[in-house]
Amino acid sequence: MPSSPPLRVVQWATGAVGGYALRDVISRPDLELAGVLVYDPDKVGLDAGELVGLGSTGVACTDDVDRVLALDADCVLHMPLPAAYFGGDPATDVEVVCALLASGKNVITTTGFVYPQAYGPGLVDRLESACARGGTSLHGTGINPGFMSDLLPLALSGLSCRLDHIYVRESSDFRGHPSRQIVTDLIGFTRAPKDYAGAVRPFRAFQRALFSESVQLVAHALGVRLDEVEETDEYELAVDEFEIAAGVVRPGTVCASRWVFSGLVRGRPFMTVECVYKADADRVRRWAAPGFAVHIEGRPTMAVAIDEVEHGLAGAAAHAVNAIAAVCAAPSGIRTLLDLPLVTGRGTARLA
């Protein structure tokens, strides 16, 4: 029986997550790289493979959006920083995604969209209309949200006969993260307290939207109607000077932050997501050590801990790449994790 032709994939953005995704796409025989959209002028014209340390692919990077829209491709891996980071309108991400969908390309994105229904029928109708025009599907994913704060708790809920509270914690170490855009400009590490609040305003809005989607997705899947999603955050200041990949953290500047998102029912949390970010986990002892934890209170009560995820950005990229075949095969429309078969990494298994 003849094998299916490889799925043609466009990589949209080649930053911290997009670079990992691009390597995966180039390396997999079931996928064919159709194009690469970049934002950095220095990357324009470079061969996609050479950009990520692999051999030549014959596919040159471009910053021409219209050229990408005109490409013949099955799927776009949409992985830019949120538009709000650049001082733009957050709706720009929606416009780009809709244009890609209407052009006949399925879209898998790490900019949110894990549960667009959280924003009401206006956004849903707009996305569904774009899907209908292109005969395509949209799927938002990542490592958190996308897996740890939604897929994993829902999988564990299959062991429960009563659910009282779902708690998910992420703790991430940014010591080796090379991007100053992410570490300083977006998250706010190395900034003085007086500059921190204003600097992270776009990140706060993005975080609030992203994890509100995730919490509401889980609640919807479990038949729970939330009254609201509450958000709080705080930060820690460095005592000593130390160096990380993105720069130097000086005494008195922000070196860690903690964000808590709680889905409330009658004033009580049904689901809580805690996110801890540290410039260097060895230097910041406050709050949890790197890793993930899921704790479900109910009958039975259970806890799952993942002590650490090395190369977490690679995990976020892999979860998106591994979903390509399922999303391309899915019916047209918005496809949350509830609509897709379990996404695994079997297609990328390597045996010694």
Give the pairing type, strands 302-306 and 7-12: unpaired
My answer on whether 265 and 293 are in the same domain is: yes
Question: Distance between CA 267 and CA 284 in Å, rounded?
Answer: 32
My answer on whether 89 and 181 are in the same domain is: no
My answer on whether 173 and 123 are in the same domain is: no
Report pLDDT digits (tens) over 144-159: 999 999 999 999 999 9
My answer on whether 137 and 217 are in the same domain is: no
Report pLDDT digits (tens) over 239-255: 999 999 999 999 999 99
The rounded mean pLDDT for the chain is 92
CATH of the domain at 132: 3.40.50.720
CATH of the domain at 193: 3.30.360
Decide if pLDDT at 87 tops 90.
no
Question: Distance between CA 30 and CA 238 in Å, rounded?
Answer: 47
My answer on whether 332 and 259 are in the same domain is: no
Question: Distance between CA 58 and CA 311 in Å, rounded?
Answer: 28
Decide if pLDDT at 350 tops 60.
no
Contacts of residue 88, defined as CB under 8 A and 6 or more positions apart, other chains included, come to none
Which residue range forms the structural domain that includes residue 189?
151-308
Contacts of residue 228, defined as CB under 8 A and 6 or more positions apart, other chains included, come to 263, 264
My answer on whether 245 and 325 are in the same domain is: no
- Our count of domains for the chain comes to 2
My answer on whether 172 and 223 are in the same domain is: yes
Average pLDDT of 315-325?
95
My answer on whether 162 and 85 are in the same domain is: no
Say if 65 falls within a structural domain.
Answer: yes
My answer on whether 155 and 284 are in the same domain is: yes
Say if 171 falls within a structural domain.
Answer: yes
Report pLDDT digits (tens) over 170-192: 999 999 988 888 899 889 999 99
Say if 277 falls within a structural domain.
Answer: yes
Say if 1 falls within a structural domain.
Answer: no
